[in-house]
């Protein structure tokens, strides 16, 4: 099904976006950085439609390829949201961000941070395992104002060249989740640059983790209503490319997945990005919060 900015919210099944409690609509979306070679698909031609999509759909969104100027546009225009994130090159403003946006009236931030996909994960800009460039994971602990429920959201963009970097980065995320979750439910969004059955996805969804980390499941397979939309999440701005499932929403196994969808959203007949946004409607456990010793 093709959707446009004016009807994306209804057809994407995100009618909960402006509630203060109940199910949470989560989006993972690789925006495609602003490249001068993209011609008619350049960011300035897509940015208003991206804002409309996120504003009308998401409670929480993990974004990838958000560089400083496009990020600034989103911050100015997504006024119902707050956000967390840093540039991957220096831990401040330089390079790509992997930001998490969250609806300000529904959530307040309790904690946040960033770590690098490397053997020195707390060192800004660090690179390991043959990665083409620094890669990061942004995390935030969100407190739902109306209910007191808390959730840990992690967002990442794994390397596109090095399979070792993807796999080791996934293992690092899994290890860090063992520390961050603290009994809370977890949401992990990201562009893994690899598909189901790949080493990164397998490391993250291991059903018997030995490190104390929460068990994660792919929302696509856990959805009570099945998967909706194309199987693939990659378009290249031209057409949905079959067999390219690289964008994901994973959740801890105490989260109920009500819906999962790859959203075919367009503006002026063109895709909003070279990736499809992936949407999941989630029901958090009623007593989700930090574990009490």
Closest of 229, 289, 221, 293 to residue 257, by C-alpha: 221
User: What is the maximum alpha-carbon separation in the chain?
Assistant: 56
Which ranges in 21-162 belong to alpha helices (H)? Answer: 43-57, 68-77
- Burial class (CB within 10 angstroms; exposed 0-12, middle 13-18, buried 19+) of 111: middle
pTM: predicted TM-score of the whole model, two decimal places: 0.92
Radius of gyration of the chain (CA): 17
Domain boundaries, the chain: 2-283
Q: Are 192 and 64 a contacting pair, CB within 8 Å?
A: no
Which pLDDT does position 20 carry in this prediction?
A: 78
Token pair 């020195």 is found at 120
The rounded distance, in Å, linking the Cα atoms of 38 and 34 is 8
pLDDT for position 36: 87
b/e per residue 249-271 (b: at least 16 CB within 10 A): bbbbebbbbbbbbbbbbbbeeeb
- Is residue 156 within 8 A of residue 204, CB to CB? The reply is no
Mean predicted lDDT score pLDDT of the chain: 92
> In the chain, which stretches have pLDDT less than 50?
1-11, 13, 15-17, 292-293
* The CATH number of domain 2-283 is 1.10.510.10: no
CA distance 154 to 177: 9
Residues with Cβ within 8 Å of 238's Cβ and at least 6 positions away in sequence, in order, are: none
Q: How confident is the model at residue 8, as a pLDDT? A: 43
Q: Tokens at residue 136, please? A: 């990061």
Structure tokens at 292: 């009490």
Six token digits for residue 109: 């931030």
CA distances to 71, 197, 231 from 205, rounded to whole Å, are: 30, 10, 19
Cite the beta strand spans of 237-284 per DSSP E: 247-252, 256-262, 264-267, 270-271, 278-283
């Amino acid at each position: 099904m093709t959707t446009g900015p004016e009807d994306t919210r209804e057809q994407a099944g995100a009618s909960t976006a402006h509630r203060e409690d109940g199910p949470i609509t989560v989006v993972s979306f690789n925006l495609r950085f602003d490249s001068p070679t993209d011609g008619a698909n350049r960011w300035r031609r897509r940015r208003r439609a991206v804002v409309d999509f996120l504003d009308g759909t998401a409670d929480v969104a993990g974004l990838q390829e958000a560089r400083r100027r496009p990020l600034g546009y989103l911050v100015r225009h997504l006024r119902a949201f707050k956000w967390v994130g840093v540039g991957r090159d220096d831990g401040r403003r330089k390079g790509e961000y992997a930001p998490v946006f969250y609806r300000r009236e529904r959530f307040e931030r309790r904690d946040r941070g960033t770590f690098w996909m490397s053997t020195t994960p707390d060192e800004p800009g660090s690179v390991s395992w043959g990665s083409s460039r620094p890669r990061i994971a942004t995390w935030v602990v969100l407190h739902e104002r109306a209910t007191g429920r808390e959730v840990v959201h992690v967002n990442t963009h794994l390397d596109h060249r090095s399979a070792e970097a993807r796999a080791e980065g996934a293992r690092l995320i899994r290890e860090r989740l063992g520390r961050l979750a603290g009994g809370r439910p977890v949401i992990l969004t990201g562009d893994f640059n690899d598909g189901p059955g790949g080493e990164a996805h397998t490391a993250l969804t291991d059903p018997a983790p030995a490190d104390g980390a929460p068990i994660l499941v792919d929302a696509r397979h856990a959805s009570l209503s099945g998967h909706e939309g194309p199987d693939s999440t990659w378009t290249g701005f031209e057409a949905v490319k079959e067999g390219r499932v690289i964008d994901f929403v994973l959740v801890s196994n105490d989260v109920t997945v009500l819906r999962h969808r790859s959203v075919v959203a367009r503006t002026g007949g063109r895709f909003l990005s070279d990736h499809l946004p992936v949407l999941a409607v989630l029901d958090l456990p009623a007593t989700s919060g930090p574990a009490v010793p």
